[in-house]
Structure 1
Amino acid sequence: MYKTIITPRVSETDAVGHINNTTLPVWFEAGRNPLFELFTPDHDFAKWKMVIVKTTLEFTGQAFFGKDAEVHTWVERMGNSSLELYEELYQEGRLCAKNRAIYVNFNLSQQQSEPIPEKIRAELNKHMREANEY
């Protein structure tokens, strides 16, 4: 599992005092930075590989300004060219949201998917979600 600490900003807080619901997808994306680095180590968008094709967000509690949040990111499934991520957001030990995201390893210049390279696959396997984590 990858762990990412998020420090909420005032601008992410809405009028009712909690983190706005439009902010959480951005926080989950921040938790994917280590994966982006695996696929495009030089961060060159002309060679970017990870293309999101689906995301499903479930809110389970409120998150607030003034307290760090933690994003946990697992690889749940890997196909030939795609991977499904399972993510959770915690604040003060409370589960605030769950998310699933599906990405495809995509060649932008050829406009087609490509198999996930074995070296990347081996690293992703280290972050697979175990059956006891359900």
Structure 2
Amino acid sequence: MYKTIIEPRISETDGVGHINNTTVPVWFEAGRNKVFKLFTPENTFENWKLILLKMNVEYLSQIYFGMDVEVRNWVKRVGNTSFELYEEIHQDGHLCAKGTVIYVNYNFKTQRSEPIPDSIRGELEKHLYEGDGSLED
């Protein structure tokens, strides 16, 4: 599992006092930085390798300003050219949001998907999640 701690900002809080729903996908993406670095170690867009194919978010509980959140990412599936992540956001011991995302290993120069290299596949497989997508603390 990959873990990322995020400190909610006041600007992410909406008029009813909780973190706005549009913020959650951004936090999930922030939790993927270690995965992005596997595919593009230099962290530049010149040789970027991933395209987002599908994203799903389920909101389970409100998230508030003033308490850190923890983003957790697992690898759910690794295919030939794509992979799926299962993700959760926790705050104060509660599961607040969960979701899945699918990325494709893509070559922007040739405009084609490419097989995931074995070295990256091996790193992804170290973070496999075998559950049903309903983890709780």
Amino acid at match of 1:88: E
How many angstroms apart in 2 are the aligned matches of 1:133 and 1:61?
A: 16
2:27 matched residue in structure 1: 27
Report the alpha carbon displacement of residue 131 of structure 1 after superposing the two structures with TM. 3.5
- C-alpha RMSD of matched pairs (Å): 1.1
**SS state of the match for residue 46, structure 2?**
helix
Report the alpha carbon displacement of residue 8 of structure 1 after superposing the two structures with TM. 0.2
Report the alpha carbon displacement of residue 132 of structure 1 after superposing the two structures with TM. 7.7
Please report the TM-score for the alignment, with normalisation by the length of structure 1: 0.97
1:39 matched residue in structure 2: 39
Report the alpha carbon displacement of residue 80 of structure 1 after superposing the two structures with TM. 0.1
Deviations 1:62-103 (A, max 9, x none): 000000000010000010000000000000110110110000
1:121 matched residue in structure 2: 121
How many angstroms apart in 2 are the aligned matches of 1:131 and 1:64?
A: 27
Report the alpha carbon displacement of residue 44 of structure 1 after superposing the two structures with TM. 1.6
How many angstroms apart in 2 are the aligned matches of 1:53 and 1:28?
A: 15
Asked if residue 84 in structure 1 is aligned to residue 84 in structure 2, the reply is yes
What percentage of aligned pairs have identical amino acids? Answer: 60
Q: How does 1:33-112 map to 2 (within 5 A)?
A: 33-112=33-112
Q: Which runs of 5+ in 2 are unaligned?
A: none
Q: Which runs of 5+ in 1 are unaligned?
A: none
Please report the TM-score for the alignment, with normalisation by the length of structure 2: 0.95
Q: Which runs of 4 or more aligned residues in structure 1 lie more than 6 Å from their structure 2 counterparts after TM superposition?
A: none
